[in-house]
Structures are given as structure tokens and as C-alpha cells.
Structure 1
């Protein structure tokens, strides 16, 4: 075999060097890939959580009932907006308790021993979607203009998912304060939301992003921020919301201590069958209760009407 010429030797050397370099580059790439975190799962999780959070807000908004207590004729003026959730008696009761407490602390009882409910036209009620913003922090201002001389109170949902709802009750004026509530709808139990956190957290720093991940100072909470309850709730906030199923939609969300109430009563019933059916049909359509005081002789003469009254509750 004849020796390689100087030219062939040079070509062979260059080819060998390029081949070796290519192998090194491929090997280095394989090593980097092996130790690099794959971002694909994280990138796919966030849009899914955002979509779930949006669906949960839509479902909750559709179920909420909007209430307002607005009066320009009182001193101080009242501008109060809250919601009720049918089937969540503990949440509604806690909201009412905190709202009444805030009204009293703000001088809204107008010198009386108890709050005098104010008749408010439906036009003042917020749309249900105003209580379920896509992203919320305690610095968010309510839709209404805040009058520093008035009692401005509103409620809103920070996050919802699974069987849990995290609610904020805000007083904007005359003194700014917020109280947070955690509701377990499966057991209809509402507690102070500070139980979500492993250590005391400034209420004003707590919020939620558009994936319904809880935040502190607009930063997502870490595992170390949450208590064991908080960790369980945070996981649940990323799954489909389970609305409570109330036994009776006619049940009041709030008592007559906060909202003005009207009682419809009928004495000496049941009356003429056609009239009673008209009244009962209207009550069913409006989801309201009617109280009947029945006479035995009238019940004997119209047993089918009496049976319907009893069946209607």
C-alpha cells in the first residue's frame, strides 16, 4: 500500500477532526437535554387551569343572587352590594354577619340599636359577574364610585373550585378593611380564610390570579405559604366547581336584619279553588313563599287545594 500524499493526509486529518467535533456536539446536546427540565407540561397546565377557572366563574355567576342596600337619604349614605348563594347557608350567614358588623362600625345604624333595612330598587343591583372578577386582589376597587363619607361595602369571590369558595367582604369607607371567608360547600361550613396559610398573612396582600391560584402581593403562593388545609383547597380550586344543590330555591339568602322583607299571608283559606291555584302558580313562578291560615271547614270543602298548599311547603 502506497503512503498517503501530503494532500490526502491533510484532507483525512480535517475529516477526522470534523467528525470528532460533530460527535462531541451531539454528545453535549444529549447531556444537556437529559438534565434540562421539559417546559412543555408547565406550559400546558396553565391554559387548562385558566379555562377551568373561567368555567367555574361562569357557573358561580349564574347561581349568585345580587342584592343592594343603597340610600342617599340616610346619614351616612349607604352603598352596599352583596350576593347570596342558594344552598350555601353558612356562607350567606357569614356574609350577613360581617356586613352588619361593618355597617355598625361605620355608623350606618344611624343611632339605632339595630340596622333598619332599606328598600332598594333592583336597578341598583350589580350584575352577578361583578362579584366574580377574573383576577382579583384586595387593592381592586368596586365598580361603584367610592364616597369617603358613605358606608361602602361589597363582597366578591376571590376563587372557586371543587367544593370550595374563597370570599372577600370589603369595606371601602369610611374605614378600609377586608375579611376573608373560606366555605366548604360539601359540608356547608364557613370559616375565617386565615386557615389557608401556614403563618399569619396580611389580609391586604391576598388575592388570586386568572387561574384561581391564590396570591400574596400578586405572586402565586408557594407550598410553604399554605397550611395543609390551604394545600388541599388550592388543588381543589383548579378543578371543576361543584355548585350546591339547594332543597328549596325559595329559601332566603339573608335575614330581615339586613334586607327589607315582605310576608304574604292568607287567612281563612283555602278559598275558591281557581283563585287559590292562580296564587299558588304565581308563587311557584316567582320562587316565593306564601303563608296560609286554613280553616277546617274550608279544608274539608276543598281538600285538593289544601293538599297542594301543603305539598308546596
Structure 2
């Protein structure tokens, strides 16, 4: 049996999240169907389930520019994908998947996973980014699928004061829903808002003879970046929605502080729309620390 690491990206707009669900189009379901096709394994074969384990299960409408999953597959089954290609088996599988997957999923690469690697439990941290176009932003319609438009002008100083409260080990029960038997305690390492500087796509020295400056697509957007060891369900979108309420003046910093101090789920701190959210990065330890990290993270966290 071989464990493969799969690095991938997807536009979440056309999916009902990552996790496989009957009769619904999901990222996991789409990739697993493709794996059954290219590896010629019947769906439902208990000897070769071709089940993906992912670093972070994104919700409906949420994107990933860099997601990580692992797959356990028998050597015999993996060998079927090579055919007449004179390339390593992992490259052969990547090529065959790319040929059958839809355009809203991209395989960055497939590799033999190091000993002890678990895409979910070995991860040290995840980075999410939420992109917003406020009243002060120039909205590029090409970004409508991955940027949320809001009508207010946002106060980034107030939003950063709120974001600073989230850093450290906290119970995010006001902003998240625990999995059965789980907890909403998480450790946030970095959280901040910034406005992307207005800039040209290429340096001015290369475009000095142009009659206009080609703008960078994200110029002027308001962007929230958050890094944590893990995230509870709806946590990032709820923190974003609550921060925007503070930044627009609809809620106070004292209200946000109370939500942090009293982790009780209720409607005013619920999740904002999903399309602005993208999983950007998964960080893993050195290979010789993968198994120990996976074992440690399985423990239920406490304050």
C-alpha cells in the first residue's frame, strides 16, 4: 500500500463544499470519481475504496488555491495508470487526472508521501484569506466569484483591533460550530486586515511606452489573512462577518470583545457569504516530525 500526497486547487463556486455527499457535486466526490475512472476500480469496491483525506474541509462556495489531500492506494492499482507513459507513476496519475477532471479543479502535483504523513493531522497550520471590495474599492467584475462586495467604507483600524483579540489560544464558540465530540478551541497565530496597494501589473520601467497602466487585479481590495493550527466549522467566515460589522460601525469593539470572552453561538456573529474565502496554504513540519505531529493533534484541545 502506498500513500500519495496530492496538492490541488479549486474554484468552490460550483461545489457543495469539499466533503462527499449523495446526489451533490462536491470536490471530494468529483476527484474520487475521477480516481475510480483512471485507476479502473469499480465504485464501492471495499478492497480499494480510493478515499481522500484532506487538510481542511472547505464549505460550500469556498475556494482553495492550495489544498492538500492524501490517498492510500495499492501498488497494483497505482501501476494501472502508467500505460505507455515513460514517466514515474505519480506523474502518470497526475496527467490522467488532469485529463478527466473539470476545469474548476486543478492538480498541482502528486508525490509519494513521506513516512508518517497525514494530510489532516500532520498539518502545523492553515492560512485562509478573505477578499472584500468595499465602497472605496474599484471592483473588477472578473473577481466577482472570489470577492465579496459590501456597500460600506470599512474602518481597517477598528477591524484590526478586533482581529488582534483573536490571536492566541481561545474558545471561538461565538464564531464556530464544533464537530461531534470536538471543541471550538483553536490557536490563532496571525490575523490582520489590510488594503492591497494600488499598483500596476508590471513595473513601470517595462511599461513606460504604454498609454495606460495595466492594473493589478487585487489593487484596492480589503483582505483578511488568518493563520491558525486548525479552524472550526464556519470560524473564519464568522470572524470576517463580525469584523465587517465593527468596521462599518454597526457593532462596537466592546461587542466583539464580549463575543470573544463569552463563547456562546448566536445569530449576530454568524458566517458571512462564502465566495470571498480562499484556503491559501497548508504548512507541514519536517518529514521526521510528521508522525509525532499527527499523534499530538488528535488530542482534544483545552484552555
Choose between structure 1 and 2 for higher RCO, CA contacts under 8 A separated by at least 6 residues.
2
Same fold? TM cut 0.5? no
Question: Which interval holds the TM-score relative to the shorter structure?
Answer: under 0.3
TM-score of the pair, normalised by structure 2: 0.23
TM-score of the pair, normalised by structure 1: 0.23
